[in-house]
Amino acid sequence: MGGLDLTPVKTRPVVIVSDTDLHGVSLGAALYKAVEPMGEENIAVVSHFDPKGPATTARGDLPALLRQLAGNVTEQHTVYFADVPLKIGAEQETVTALAELAKKARVVYIDHHIEVLKHFAGKQIPRVDFRIYADAFSTYLPALMSVVIAGRDADARHIFDLAVLGLVADVDLAALPVAQQVAAALGFEVPTLEQIRQNYHVVAAIDAMVKSPQKPNAETDAALVGNMASVVAYLAKKPLSEVASEALQKFPTPEPKEVARDAEIVGDAVAVYKKLAPLGQGAKYAALLEAALDVPIVVVAAPVPRVQEYVVVMAFANAFLGSKVTAEVSKLLSEAKEPIVKELKERKLTKDEWIRPTPGFSVPVDASKVEEALRLVAERLASLYAQKQREKIAAQVAREELTVLVADEKLAASVARIVEAAVNAAAQKVLEALKERR
Ligand SMILES: [Mn+2]
């Protein structure tokens, strides 16, 4: 049987299974740090990405990995899962495989994915110790607390830094207040949102390093199984400041404000990057732009690997650390994509071919006409955004006026709803009229 060889796990009672994104590997590293005093010769790290075979991520065959693991563990083993979500579309298979594994060994399952909770809820899986948290930061608490209780201050600092890295990597803004509370209790300093924005390129560089097939060198006696396991050990062994400078050397990533210098704001809501982002780095440049500009929508173009004739133009809702309403903006983008693509087609800037959806949309455009396409997408989105703002303000004003005039609150509310509907309908007519005129 080719693929992953899990026999090194057999003789090592502590097994850490981590997801392969930055949150997963850094959480794996935090657990590694916590169990290190048990002796590295007793630790195995399993972290593997394979879209077609056994993998420690839902983007591969997770149930197969769990079954294989069950064949290599005993009563003596404790298996820690770090941020490994259930495989969508294979939930029951994953639960069954996990239950089989738990018959053989003790399992501690640390995660923060809601779907995990949903599928495990009400299912008694003996010996699986579920630690499901509401946010990315909190998943580090078991590791953090175990070293704090043991009085290992330097390790606590290290794990805390990994936890902040994990929350930024997972774009989990809700976790920031939790991090602040924990920081206050432990006497650590937690970066502000502003500092995180300014230093976002560091996170982007570490993320690139983690995802690249180049393995950072980690000196350890732990068994490292899979193509990402050495990254876990590396993050556990090196202070984060060293990891950051090495990542920036290997994957030079411009600072957000540097990227923003080549951007233009269209209307007051859309930032458009006027240059081409480097090959395959459109999403990363969009995030860098968002970090610098705090606009609700960014539009970026980037070439795609193995395709010469097309460049992808991408529009993103501020899925990063933005402070402007994301749900509203993603709705706007999903409504906008059809008419925009239609217009791009009419102007012969694109063929009807879709590339995977993003938190927004992406469309391939003729490589020789990128500038024109970028401008068109940015302008249409800016005017749609402005239109939505006007509708919102109109509805707001109508509601407030009525609350003053109509004393009865319930009556005011129902009249307000009628007025709001009327305003929306009128706005819709204006929009349609505008469309026809084009
Ligand atoms: Mn995660």
Ligand 1 mean position, distance from CA 135 (Å): 8
Domains identified in the chain, total number: 3
In a domain, residue 2? The reply is no
Residue 127: CB atoms within 10 A of its CB come to 14
Is the domain of 364 the same as that of 397? no
| Helical (H) or strand (E) element with 110 | strand 106-111
Question: Low-confidence residues of the chain, pLDDT below 70?
Answer: 1-2, 115, 121-124, 318-326, 352-359, 397-416, 418-420, 422-423, 426-427, 429-431, 433-438
Is the domain of 188 the same as that of 75? yes
Residues 6+ apart with CB under 8 A from 260: 271, 288, 289, 292, 293
- Rounded distance between C-alpha atoms, residue 391 and residue 290, angstroms: 25
Ligand 1 mean position, distance from CA 167 (Å): 8
Is the domain of 372 the same as that of 394? no
Domain boundary among 215, 234, 250: 250
Ligand 1 mean position, distance from CA 103 (Å): 26
In a domain, residue 1? The reply is no
In a domain, residue 80? The reply is yes
Ligand 1 mean position, distance from CA 133 (Å): 11
Is the domain of 15 the same as that of 157? yes
Q: Which strands form 270-276's sheet, in the order they lie side by side?
A: 263-266, 270-276, 297-303, 310-317, 360-366
Is the domain of 24 the same as that of 97? yes
In a domain, residue 25? The reply is yes
Asked if 259 contacts 292 with a C-beta cutoff of 8 angstroms, the reply is yes
Is the domain of 71 the same as that of 158? yes
- Rounded distance between C-alpha atoms, residue 253 and residue 213, angstroms: 18
In a domain, residue 97? The reply is yes
Domain boundary among 250, 269, 304: 250
Tokens 């690139």 locate to 208
Is the domain of 227 the same as that of 119? yes
Ligand 1 mean position, distance from CA 409 (Å): 44
The pLDDT assigned to 436 comes to 64
- Rounded distance between C-alpha atoms, residue 9 and residue 74, angstroms: 10
- Give the CATH number of the domain where residue 67 resides: 3.90.1640
Tokens 């819709």 locate to 428
The pLDDT assigned to 9 comes to 97
Is the domain of 17 the same as that of 88? yes
- DSSP, collapsed to helix, strand or coil, labels residue 221 as coil
The pLDDT assigned to 325 comes to 56
Ligand 1 mean position, distance from CA 83 (Å): 5
Residue 307 DSSP one-character state: -
Ligand 1 mean position, distance from CA 170 (Å): 6
- Rounded distance between C-alpha atoms, residue 354 and residue 286, angstroms: 19
- Rounded distance between C-alpha atoms, residue 158 and residue 104, angstroms: 33
In a domain, residue 382? The reply is no
Phi, psi (rounded to 5 degrees) for 172: -110, 80
Q: Which domain holds residue 430?
A: 387-437
Domain boundary among 232, 250, 268: 250
The pLDDT assigned to 1 comes to 43
- Rounded distance between C-alpha atoms, residue 126 and residue 100, angstroms: 10
Q: What's the CA dihedral at 250, 251, 257, 262 to 10 degrees?
A: 130
From the list 317, 327, 276, 273, the residue with the least C-alpha distance to 297 is: 317
The pLDDT assigned to 376 comes to 92
Ligand 1 mean position, distance from CA 431 (Å): 40
Is the domain of 212 the same as that of 340? no
Is the domain of 199 the same as that of 283? no
Ligand 1 mean position, distance from CA 421 (Å): 40
Residue 172 DSSP one-character state: -
Cα dihedral sign, 326-329-335-340? negative
- Rounded distance between C-alpha atoms, residue 29 and residue 162, angstroms: 8
